[in-house]
Chains A and B, each alone.
With several copies, the nearest count.
Chain A
Amino acid sequence: MMESEVSVLVGGPAGAGISSAGQVVAQLLGRLGYRVHMYLDYPSRIKGGHNFAVIRGSGGQPGAIREKMDFLLALNQETVGLHRHNLAADGVIVYDAGEVKNTSGIAVAIREILAEEDAPAVMGNSAILGAFARAAGIGWNLFEDVLRLSIPKAVALNLAVARRAYDAAEEHERVPVLDRPVFPVFSGNEAIGIGLIEGELANYFSYPMSPTSNIMHFLAGLQEEAKIRVFQPESEIAVVLMALGCAYSGTRAAVGTSGGGYCLMTEAISLAGVAELPLMIVLGQRTGPSTGLATYTAQGDLYFALNGGHGEFPRLVAAPGDAEEARAWAVAGMDLSWKFQVPAILLADKVVCEGMFSLDPDKILKRRQETPSAESNSPYHRYALTGSGISPLRFPPVKGEVIRVNSHVHDTDGITTEDPELTRAMAEKRWKKERILEGEIEEMDPVNILGARESSTALLCWGSSKWACHEAGEKNGLRVVQPVVLSPFPEKGFARAMDGIDRIITVETNETGQLSRFIREFGYHPDDTILKYDGRPFTVEELDTRVKEAVS
């Protein structure tokens, strides 16, 4: 085991609870003081096949996985077959003795344990977890505590199964406890859900689609407590238009989807643009084009996020690189979208959405609330041409006032016009808002600097490549620059982050180097591009190798 580093892989068929098992491991490592990241790899099927989760704990924040595992938890033969080469020299395989043949390590007699406890097959994962806890030298009490929290149903039986396996296994190598505050571990989707709630969500609309369906599931489970409503309409078109209806009525809504659903939303995004309606969209990218690889990742929709919808209008696009950022920008997206009456897109991807991350509960951006406009409100003009471009928002019913929003070019009252002067004036009003929005963004740390800050070579990345880049940057002495906000592009913050840089290498999981092309608009010309487009994120080692090739 490396210092302050532990990696665990859990593998088994779909339906065997690999994701839950992974989450328990993640939670366990979290409780030991590690910062945790989990990557889940699964094909688009419900039962059978091969799923695996890689959980990495580290003293620093891990947001990418390593290739070498200290523990390989195998519920099926494939896990060993496919991942044996991932086992670290001093690593150990903990395996289901009934399923996995020809291997050495810690055998768990799952079949027998389940039979003795009269437990169903799906509890096999509790057995393997018990064995792992013992192998990793984790005390029973802590383990029990975590298992209780993670497994809501049939707790006693799961614990009994786990205990048998725990007792039967031997310790392999104790995972050292780190003396650091314990951070909670969340998936990006959960973190987004939390952020939306903090951003005063009232209604969440969604049509199921990987990798964002779990935002809906998470929020649906919180409806009572959070006093929100979650509704799944007939299509993404209905989803987004219901959200716009809510905005008109004055309550905050958000929606979540992936590329295919986003396509169907673009017409409404354009409507939000001209009608100046707040709209919050979580766009979780996956491998495209089209249905592509439904459960794998990509950063293929940057330009589409920036340009989806016809005509031109300001929008907020923020691409978080982990759950903490996802939460922070979910809140900010809600607030800014309302304050500036623009669509906001939280551009995540499968790794951020479905991956798990430790997060600092206190790391949250300063709220950007609506500032009540000083300008006169009566008679009410929905599209009053104010100095800021932001018109005061009011919602029906208002006695004596008529409140109109309009998809056509309109006058200050929202009535349709075809007048060229008004057409120009309304366009300029919208871009005025954008300049002010950009100003606020610049105050919100919209560009991260990571890696070796002093370097004059930049690894430039966005979204989920953040942490792999950070590690490659630290290792190779390169500065890492990650714009979190892509629109309006924080040119000043970016310039500051790029200060002194004479060589740029971009890192993206896409085919055409979208960020690399995009920053040319702002006068930055990357020298090299490291791309990956097979649906999988960069591992730490892989990116390190690619970066070394690039800088050599």
Chain B
Amino acid sequence: MKGEDLYSHAQVTWCPGCGNFGVRYALREALLELDRDGIPVENVVIVTGIGQHGKMFDFMNINGFYGLHGRTIPIAAGIHIANPDLRVICIAGDGDCYAEGLEHLVFGAKRNLDITVLVHDNRVYGLTTGQYTPTSPFRFRGRSTPDGSREHPFNPLELVLTSGATFIGRGYSRRQEQLKDLIREAVLHRGFSFIDILQICVTYNDMTEYYNSHIYDWDQDDLGDFEAACRKAREWDYDTEAPIGLGLMYRSGKETFEELCPVPEQLKPGERAALVRKIMDERR
């Protein structure tokens, strides 16, 4: 398989320079590596939200469910519960996953669902033309907040860590090699894998310079240490000036939801009829 095979023929409609190009590239490369490593691409399903991130559905040439704004995770849960052989990747947005559908993120982590969630965190509603999101900095001037927003952002890494996620990382759309590795590892991880991707939105929230001058790579020595993960997560609160760590932040082992709820082999028609007969007979 070649990289090109993983891109669809659909015309790409992101703005020139949009960070989503980088994410797409990283995703494609990760899928290629996974394919080589024995996870064939037809076993992968992406579930996308509604937003610029969601267009990944059209631009990739892999199985996909283009869902609703904010609802990638329950859809992915359903797909994976029904067929745990599939590798399900949510392509979510920050408006999508941190505002409209935040509850599902917490519950996905809580259950340790064996899926991967990539949040294209451009810290703005891109497709609806630039309103503030839960990760926009305080006083963000967008179309709904011309005088600056009145909310401090929350910290998604801290939130999913608290909620029980077992694989947590942060990527950057301009660090595609690292992002590719993160995605590959996330898909391979058994349990809830979460990557907040600092994705550049050149049109509404171009943080390139800021990120370039603040990022560094987390050391990877203490990945299983919850306290260390807390510290890493809190170093930058998405609001005030601080170094921005990139890479894998936390990884731990825990029984997954799917392991706790194994798929039973379905009854055969005859067995089903016999069961119904039995239920009926017990009531007369």
Chain A contact residues, CB within 8 Å of chain B: 15, 27, 30-31, 43-49, 149, 182-186, 194, 197-198, 200, 202-203, 205-210, 213, 216-217, 220-235, 237-239, 241-251, 253, 260, 267-268, 271, 275, 290-291, 294, 361, 395-408, 414-416
With A361-B280, A397-B42, A416-B10 as known contacts, state yes or no: A226 contacts B78, CB within 8 Å.
no
Q: Could you tell me the distance in whole angstroms from the C-beta of B131 to the nearest C-beta in chain A?
A: 5
Instruction: State the CA gap A490–B135 with chains docked (Å).
Output: 48
Q: Are A403 and B63 in contact (CB under 8 A)?
A: yes
Chain B residues in 8 Å Cβ range of A221:
146
> Residue on A with the closest CB to B279?
A194
Q: Could you tell me the distance in whole angstroms from the C-beta of A403 to the nearest C-beta in chain B?
A: 5
Q: Are A249 and B82 in contact (CB under 8 A)?
A: yes
Q: Are A245 and B261 in contact (CB under 8 A)?
A: no
Q: Are B67 and A227 in contact (CB under 8 A)?
A: no
Chain A residues in 8 Å Cβ range of B279:
194, 222
Question: What string of 1s and 0s marks CB contacts (under 8 Å) between B36-74 and chain A?
Answer: 000010110101001010010110011111111111001
Which of A46, A216, A227 lies in contact with B127, CB distance below 8 A?
A46
The 3 closest A-B pairs by CB, nearest first: A245-B78, A184-B283, A249-B82
With A48-B13, A251-B82, A404-B63 as known contacts, state yes or no: A245 contacts B75, CB within 8 Å.
yes
Known: A216-B143, A404-B66. 7 other contacts (CB 8 A): A48-B13, A234-B134, A246-B78, A361-B280, A396-B83, A400-B42, A406-B57
Q: Could you tell me the distance in whole angstroms from the C-beta of A451 to the nearest C-beta in chain B?
A: 28
- Of the four ranges (under 10, 10 to 19, 20 to 34, 35 or more), the interface on chain B belongs to 35 or more
> Residue on A with the closest CB to B126?
A46
Instruction: State the CA gap A184–B107 with chains docked (Å).
Output: 41
Q: Are B144 and A217 in contact (CB under 8 A)?
A: yes
Which of B14, B61, B78, B104 lies in contact with A249, CB distance below 8 A?
B78
Q: Are B144 and A208 in contact (CB under 8 A)?
A: yes
Q: Are A404 and B64 in contact (CB under 8 A)?
A: yes
Instruction: State the CA gap A93–B37 with chains docked (Å).
Output: 57
- Chain B residues 65 to 113 lying within 8 A of chain A, measured CB to CB, are 65-71, 74-83, 85-86, 95, 99-104, 107
Chain A residues in 8 Å Cβ range of B126:
46
Chain A residues in 8 Å Cβ range of B42:
396-402
Which of B78, B103, B203, B282 lies in contact with A234, CB distance below 8 A?
B103
Which of B14, B43, B77 lies in contact with A242, CB distance below 8 A?
B77
Q: Are A408 and B264 in contact (CB under 8 A)?
A: no
Chain B residues in 8 Å Cβ range of A206:
144
* Most A Cβ at <10 Å: residue of B81, B85, B99, B101: B81
Chain A residues in 8 Å Cβ range of B267:
226-227
Q: Are A249 and B283 in contact (CB under 8 A)?
A: no
* Most A Cβ at <10 Å: residue of B68, B127, B143: B68
Chain B residues in 8 Å Cβ range of A408:
66
Which of B14, B63, B134 lies in contact with A396, CB distance below 8 A?
B63
Chain B residues in 8 Å Cβ range of A228:
264
Q: Are A235 and B103 in contact (CB under 8 A)?
A: yes
Q: Could you tell me the distance in whole angstroms from the C-beta of B21 to the nearest C-beta in chain A?
A: 13
Q: Check B241 for interface membership: any CB of A closer than 8 A.
A: no
Q: Could you tell me the distance in whole angstroms from the C-beta of A246 to the nearest C-beta in chain B?
A: 4
Which of A184, A260, A294, A407 lies in contact with B281, CB distance below 8 A?
A184
Chain A residues in 8 Å Cβ range of B147:
223-224
A-B contact pairs, 13 of them (CB 8 A): A183-B284, A185-B284, A194-B276, A194-B280, A200-B266, A208-B129, A213-B129, A233-B74, A245-B80, A396-B86, A399-B40, A402-B64, A415-B8
Q: Are A231 and B62 in contact (CB under 8 A)?
A: no
Chain A residues in 8 Å Cβ range of B282:
149, 184
Chain B residues in 8 Å Cβ range of A243:
78
Q: Are A48 and B15 in contact (CB under 8 A)?
A: yes
Chain B residues in 8 Å Cβ range of A249:
78-80, 82-83, 86
Chain B residues in 8 Å Cβ range of A15:
15, 203
Instruction: State the CA gap A235–B64 with chains docked (Å).
Output: 24
Count A-B contacts at CB 8 Å: 247
Chain B residues in 8 Å Cβ range of A406:
57, 64, 66
Question: What string of 1s and 0s marks CB contacts (under 8 Å) between B183-219 and chain A?
Answer: 0000000000000000000010000000000000000
Q: Are B104 and A416 in contact (CB under 8 A)?
A: no
Chain B contact residues, CB within 8 Å of chain A: 8, 10, 13-16, 40, 42-43, 45, 47, 50, 52, 55, 57-58, 61-71, 74-83, 85-86, 95, 99-104, 107, 125-129, 131-132, 134, 143-147, 150, 203, 261, 263-267, 272-273, 275-277, 279-284
> Residue on A with the closest CB to B203?
A46
Instruction: State the CA gap A405–B102 with chains docked (Å).
Output: 23
Which of B101, B129, B277, B283 lies in contact with A185, CB distance below 8 A?
B283
Q: Could you tell me the distance in whole angstroms from the C-beta of A34 to the nearest C-beta in chain B?
A: 12
Q: Could you tell me the distance in whole angstroms from the C-beta of A368 to the nearest C-beta in chain B?
A: 15
Which of A226, A238, A397 lies in contact with B74, CB distance below 8 A?
A238
Instruction: State the CA gap A242–B88 with chains docked (Å).
Output: 13
Instruction: State the CA gap A185–B67 with chains docked (Å).
Output: 38
Chain A residues in 8 Å Cβ range of B134:
234
Instruction: State the CA gap A216–B143 with chains docked (Å).
Output: 8
Instruction: State the CA gap A361–B277 with chains docked (Å).
Output: 8
With A200-B272, A248-B78 as known contacts, state yes or no: A405 contacts B66, CB within 8 Å.
yes
Q: Are B70 and A402 in contact (CB under 8 A)?
A: no
> Residue on B with the closest CB to A398?
B42
Chain A residues in 8 Å Cβ range of B14:
45, 47
Chain A residues in 8 Å Cβ range of B143:
208, 213, 216-217, 220
Which of A227, A294, A399, A416 lies in contact with B266, CB distance below 8 A?
A227
Instruction: State the CA gap A109–B127 with chains docked (Å).
Output: 32
Q: Are B266 and A271 in contact (CB under 8 A)?
A: no
With A238-B74, A416-B57 as known contacts, state yes or no: A232 contacts B284, CB within 8 Å.
no
Chain B residues in 8 Å Cβ range of A27:
283
Chain A residues in 8 Å Cβ range of B40:
397, 399
Q: Are B99 and A235 in contact (CB under 8 A)?
A: yes
> Residue on B with the closest CB to A359?
B280
Q: Could you tell me the distance in whole angstroms from the C-beta of B236 to the nearest C-beta in chain A?
A: 22
Q: Are B16 and A290 in contact (CB under 8 A)?
A: no
Instruction: State the CA gap A170–B45 with chains docked (Å).
Output: 58
Q: Could you tell me the distance in whole angstroms from the C-beta of B273 to the nearest C-beta in chain A?
A: 8
> Residue on B with the closest CB to A356?
B283
Q: Could you tell me the distance in whole angstroms from the C-beta of A447 to the nearest C-beta in chain B?
A: 27
Instruction: State the CA gap A406–B57 with chains docked (Å).
Output: 9
Chain A residues in 8 Å Cβ range of B129:
46, 208, 213
Q: Are B100 and A207 in contact (CB under 8 A)?
A: yes
> Residue on B with the closest CB to A240?
B74
Instruction: State the CA gap A414–B61 with chains docked (Å).
Output: 11
Q: Are A416 and B280 in contact (CB under 8 A)?
A: no
Which of A43, A216, A267 lies in contact with B144, CB distance below 8 A?
A216
Q: Are A404 and B57 in contact (CB under 8 A)?
A: yes
Which of B65, B76, B100, B266 lies in contact with A235, CB distance below 8 A?
B100
Q: Are A184 and B78 in contact (CB under 8 A)?
A: no
Chain B residues in 8 Å Cβ range of A253:
78, 82
Instruction: State the CA gap A428–B58 with chains docked (Å).
Output: 23
Q: Could you tell me the distance in whole angstroms from the C-beta of B256 to the nearest C-beta in chain A?
A: 14
With A47-B203, A242-B75 as known contacts, state yes or no: A402 contacts B69, CB within 8 Å.
no
